[in-house]
């Protein structure tokens, strides 16, 4: 079949990988030049440990506390927006213990499926994208964070995810090259990481070689719909006709979904990162500073710091105060690592597509017969990409799904 994938981020590319492998004629349409999407500069973490959805008890009170600090990990720009109000309402309704209990098994299953597929990619793909299984350290400095992590370890053990609560000296024993100043940490040995820029850049080249067509710098304008099917995708570069359409538009999915009369509540969660090169004494294990919500990933001789969740709509302005929050956190956890403020041109930003309940949208539309939706992965896009791509391919071919995706139903709101 002729398959059109709307969006050339890691979800779209992963879908193209499996659809091309299944013998389909695949075209990717993207509004950018594919050189700097949300998949390129993220923390590169593959995290089965992240089985608790973003919408969880305590997040609203934390969010309110953080909102009034311009350097805090989380910020919602106050504005009148119907889409933000709708999203906030559903987030509020989802931030419950019952939602966490229901969602955690599905998030764990799709994460483990994705990790197993990354292991296959490491063997199958003809390039090295820096995939390593060194685990993840969740570092904390306060009793409050320690209490939360004790609960997380207990939950992890219930779901069969390996996790160890460590004291300060045990954390330091794992980090042999740098000084760590923390109360303790949780070690998830089953997590992994990779270099996202290397993966995305080379995956695009690989897919081109395999015959996938790329229509970059192509802006979606509208759709021709007839009898419950997409007959044509209308763009600034003409109309495209496909047998099946995959919507993998990330933060733009809500807006574009509106053109199809679909309700896909979505907010763009802006994140920032910067990378230090030629680091002599480097971090050994990817880590997250819990109180500061900063992710730290070693990538060869480089070290990437990323963080913040800034709900501001689709907005590409860089707020250096947010970056300052990341920089200020580093010496609190790594006291001998004094990192200067990067220049704005060296700061990367990406817009994470956040659904209000913290679960992705993956499934076939009930309203439009030949439309499959794969978006809303929040901070987990890279982590869940291969599994999402496989699930999309199975939906196109009407094969039995590799897992139950009922909770990811796209039109649940």
Query: Quick check: is 384 in a domain?
Result: yes
pLDDT confidence of residue 329: 96
Contacts 24+ apart (CB under 8 A), 401-405: 402/113, 403/106, 403/109, 403/110, 403/113, 404/106, 404/109, 405/106, 405/362, 405/363
Name beta bridge partners: 75.
310
The total of structural domains in the chain comes to: 1
Average pLDDT per block of 10 residues along the chain, 413 residues long? 97 98 98 75 94 84 70 74 90 93 96 98 97 98 94 94 97 97 98 96 97 96 96 97 97 93 93 94 97 95 92 83 93 96 94 95 97 96 97 98 98 95
* Residue 402 CA: distances (Å) to CA of 114, 156, 353, 399, 405: 11, 22, 24, 9, 9
Query: Quick check: is 254 in a domain?
Result: yes
Report the alpha-carbon distance of residue 334 to residue 312 in Å, rounded: 30
pLDDT confidence of residue 309: 84
pLDDT confidence of residue 74: 77
Percent of the chain with pLDDT over 70: 98
pLDDT confidence of residue 70: 63
Query: Quick check: is 159 in a domain?
Result: yes
CATH of the domain at 255: 3.50.50.60
Query: Quick check: is 413 in a domain?
Result: no
pLDDT confidence of residue 68: 67
With CA atoms as reference, report the closest residue to 380 among 139, 111, 134: 111
pLDDT confidence of residue 57: 83
Residues 6+ apart with CB under 8 A from 131: 46, 118, 119, 121, 122, 192, 193, 194
**Neighbour count for residue 280 (Cβ, 10 Å):** 6
Name beta bridge partners: 404.
none
pLDDT confidence of residue 194: 97
Query: Quick check: is 74 in a domain?
Result: yes
Token reading at 290: 């819990």
pLDDT confidence of residue 116: 98
What is the span of the domain harbouring residue 380?
Answer: 2-408
Q: In terms of DSSP H, where are the helices of 192-304? A: 196-209, 253-259
Name beta bridge partners: 309.
74
Q: What is the pTM of this model?
A: 0.94
pLDDT confidence of residue 37: 60
With CA atoms as reference, report the closest residue to 196 among 301, 390, 43: 43
Model pLDDT for residues 138-153, shown as the tens digit of each residue:
999 999 999 999 999 9
With CA atoms as reference, report the closest residue to 392 among 357, 354, 361: 361
Query: Quick check: is 8 in a domain?
Result: yes
Report the alpha-carbon distance of residue 407 to residue 355 in Å, rounded: 13
Query: Quick check: is 168 in a domain?
Result: yes
Residue 332 is given by DSSP the state H
Report the alpha-carbon distance of residue 385 to residue 391 in Å, rounded: 10
Helix or strand holding residue 308 (H, E): strand 302-311
* Residue 198 CA: distances (Å) to CA of 10, 35, 127, 128, 213: 12, 11, 9, 8, 20
Query: Quick check: is 20 in a domain?
Result: yes
Rg over alpha carbons for the chain, rounded to the nearest Å, is 21
């Amino acid at each position: 079949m002729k398959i059109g994938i709307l969006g050339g981020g890691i979800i779209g590319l992963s879908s193209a990988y499996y659809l091309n492998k299944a013998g389909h004629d695949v075209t990717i349409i993207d509004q950018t030049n594919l050189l700097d999407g949300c998949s390129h500069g993220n923390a590169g973490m593959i995290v089965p440990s992240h089985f608790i959805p973003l919408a969880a008890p305590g997040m609203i009170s934390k969010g309110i506390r953080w909102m009034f600090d311009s350097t805090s990990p989380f910020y919602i720009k106050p504005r009148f927006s119907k889409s933000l109000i709708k999203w906030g309402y559903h987030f509020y309704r989802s931030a419950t213990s019952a939602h966490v209990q229901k969602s955690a098994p599905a998030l764990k299953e799709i994460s483990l499926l994705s990790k197993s597929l990354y292991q296959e990619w490491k063997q199958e793909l003809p390039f090295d994208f820096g995939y390593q299984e060194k685990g993840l350290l969740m570092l904390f400095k306060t009793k409050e964070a320690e209490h939360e992590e004790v609960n997380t370890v207990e939950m992890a053990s219930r779901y069969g995810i390996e996790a160890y609560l460590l004291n300060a000296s045990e954390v330091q024993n794992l980090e042999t090259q740098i000084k760590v100043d923390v109360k303790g940490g949780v070690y998830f040995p089953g997590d992994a990481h990779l270099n996202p820029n290397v993966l995305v850049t080379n995956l695009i080249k690989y897919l081109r070689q395999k015959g996938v067509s790329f229509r970059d710098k192509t802006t979606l304008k509208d759709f021709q719909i007839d009898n419950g099917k997409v007959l044509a995708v209308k763009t600034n570069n003409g109309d495209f006709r496909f047998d099946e359409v995959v919507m993998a538009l990330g933060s733009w999915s809500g807006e574009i979904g509106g053109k199809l009369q679909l309700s896909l509540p979505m907010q763009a969660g802006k994140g920032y990162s910067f990378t230090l090169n030629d680091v002599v004494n480097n971090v050994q294990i990817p880590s997250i500073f819990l109180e500061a919500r900063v992710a730290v990933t070693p990538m060869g001789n480089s070290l990437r710091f990323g963080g913040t969740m800034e709900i501001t709509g689709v907005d590409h302005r860089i707020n250096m105060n947010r970056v300052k929050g990341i920089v200020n956190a580093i010496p609190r956890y790594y006291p001998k690592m004094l990192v200067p403020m990067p220049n704005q041109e060296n700061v990367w930003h990406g817009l994470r597509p956040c659904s209000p309940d913290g679960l992705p949208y993956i499934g076939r539309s009930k309203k439009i017969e030949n439309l499959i939706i794969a978006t809303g992965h929040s901070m987990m896009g890279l982590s869940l990409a291969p599994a999402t791509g496989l699930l999309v391919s199975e939906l196109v071919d009407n094969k039995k799904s590799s897992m139950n995706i009922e909770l990811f139903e796209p039109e649940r709101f």
